[in-house]
Structure 1
C-alpha cells in the first residue's frame, strides 16, 4: 500500500541530493468577490494670472493598487524556526496548531502500516499547517515538524531527563538523520494572487555527534534544552559544541530548511524577495 507521503504527492529530499519538485494541489479555495476600485475627489489648481481664487471641480480618479502584503503564518511554537525566518528577512505571525500528534500518527498507521521517518515528519507538518489554515484566511501558512532517525528508530522530544540521557549515550560518536517535514497552504483570495494550493516536502540532513563523556551528557541534559527539541539536541544553541559535523542543509537541522521553503513558495508563484518587500523588516 502506498505510503502517506506518496498519497499526498509530496517529495522527500536527501541532504546531498537536489530538492525534488513538490506536488501542488490545484483545488482552489473559495474566494471573495473582487474589491471595488476606490475613487477620490481632487481640486483643480488656480490658473496662473487669474488673480482670483479658482473654483474647485470634482473628478473621479482611479487609484493605483499596490501589491497586497503577503501574510506568512508559521504554524509552530518553535522559537528557533521563527528566529531562522526573521534572520532571512521574514517576520511571520505565529499561530500554534491544536493537533493531537499521536492521534494523527495512529490513524495513519491504521491506514498505511508502519511509517518511515520522513513520512512521520511530513504527516505532522501537514496536519499542523492545515489545522491553522482552517482558522485563517488571506495568508500563506507554513507547518513544520522534525524527527531524528537513529539506527532505524524515530525519535522526537524526549519525555524525561532519564530518556534524554539514555538517548545521548546511544547518539555519542554516531550519526543520525534529522528529517524536517514542510507543508504550505495558500488561503489567499484568487484576486489577490492566491492559488488555493496545499503542498509539501521533507528535507533530510545527516548529523554526526561528538563522543561526549557521561559528565557532559548529564550537564547538557540538566540544562533542560534536550527536553524541548526533537532529537534532544540543537545546532544553534547549547548543543552546538556536541555536533561534530553535518551533511546537508544546516537550517534544516535548526528546524526549517530555508532552501526547501523557498522552492515550495516558488510553487505558489512567490519569490523570497517579495516576502521581504511586503513591509517585512530585515
Structure 2
C-alpha cells in the first residue's frame, strides 16, 4: 500500500488483506483548473507507480495507491494548522459536499487500474464554539476536509449518500472489486 494513512491500513486489514506499507513522496499540488476527480486519480496512480518503481522484483508485486479529497466549491486537503481546520469546517458547516477518493493498482502484469469513488456528505450547521471545541481535540489535523466521520465529527453528519468507507479514506468495495479483477 502506497500510503501511510492509519485509517487505510485499518480498513485493508478489516477486509483481511495482508500487505506492507510504503509511502510515496510525490508532488500533490493540483494542476491549474484540474477537476477534483482527475486530481485524486492522478495522485493515486503516481503514488502507486512511485512505490512500484522502487522494487527490483516486480513480477508478483501489487501496489495500491489512494488519495482522498473533500470538495466544497474548492479542493480541501489536510489543514496546515488549527486556523486552517476552522476555516474548512466553517466552509463545510450547513452544506452538502463531496468526498472523492482516487484508487490505483499497479502491477507488472496489467496496465494500471485507476478509479474514483464519490460520496455526498451532509454536514449540520456548526457554531463557532462547536468548531473551536472540535478543532481543540486535534482530530481534524491530518484529515482531508478537517474532519473524521468515524470520530467525533459523526455528530455533525446526519446523512451521506454513497460509500461510508470512502469518507473514512478508502472505498473498500471498489478496491476489493479491482483486486478481484486482477485475479481473472
Normalising TM by the smaller chain, what interval? Answer: over 0.9
Residue in 1 that maps onto 2:28: 101
Q: Distance in 2 between matches of 1:128 and 1:100?
A: 10
Residue 104 of structure 2 is aligned with which of 174, 180, 183? 183
User: Is the 1:208–1:246 Cα contact (8 Å) retained in structure 2?
Assistant: yes
Residue in 1 that maps onto 2:62: 140
5+ residue gaps, structure 1: 1-73, 188-194, 271-282
Query: Within the alignment, does 1:90 sit opposite 2:21 as a pair?
Result: no
User: Is the 2:89–2:145 Cα contact (8 Å) retained in structure 1?
Assistant: no
For residues 245-274 of structure 1, the C-alpha deviation after alignment (integer angstroms, 9 at most, x for no partner) is: 11001011111101111221122126xxxx
Q: Distance in 1 between matches of 2:37 and 2:27?
A: 19
Secondary structure of 1:119 counterpart: helix
Query: Within the alignment, does 1:246 sit opposite 2:136 as a pair?
Result: no
User: Is the 1:203–1:257 Cα contact (8 Å) retained in structure 2?
Assistant: yes
Higher-Rg structure is 1
User: Is the 2:2–2:66 Cα contact (8 Å) retained in structure 1?
Assistant: yes
TM-score (norm 2): 0.92
Secondary structure of 1:219 counterpart: helix
For residues 63-97 of structure 1, the C-alpha deviation after alignment (integer angstroms, 9 at most, x for no partner) is: xxxxxxxxxxx100100011011111113210011
Kindly state the Cα deviation for residue 127 of structure 1 after the two structures are TM-superposed. 0.8
Residue in 2 that maps onto 1:150: 72
Secondary structure of 2:26 counterpart: coil
Residue 264 of structure 1 is aligned with which of 149, 162, 178? 178
Kindly state the Cα deviation for residue 197 of structure 1 after the two structures are TM-superposed. 3.0
Structure (1/2) with the larger helix percentage: 2
Correspondence 1:1-282 to 2 at 5 A:
74-102=1-29, 105=30, 109=31, 114-136=33-55, 137=58, 138-151=60-73, 153-187=74-108, 195-269=109-183
5+ residue gaps, structure 2: none
TM-score (norm 1): 0.61
Kindly state the Cα deviation for residue 216 of structure 1 after the two structures are TM-superposed. 1.4
Q: Aligned residue pairs: how many?
A: 181
Q: Distance in 2 between matches of 1:155 and 1:213?
A: 20
Kindly state the Cα deviation for residue 143 of structure 1 after the two structures are TM-superposed. 0.3
Choose 235-244 or 173-182, whichever is displaced more.
235-244
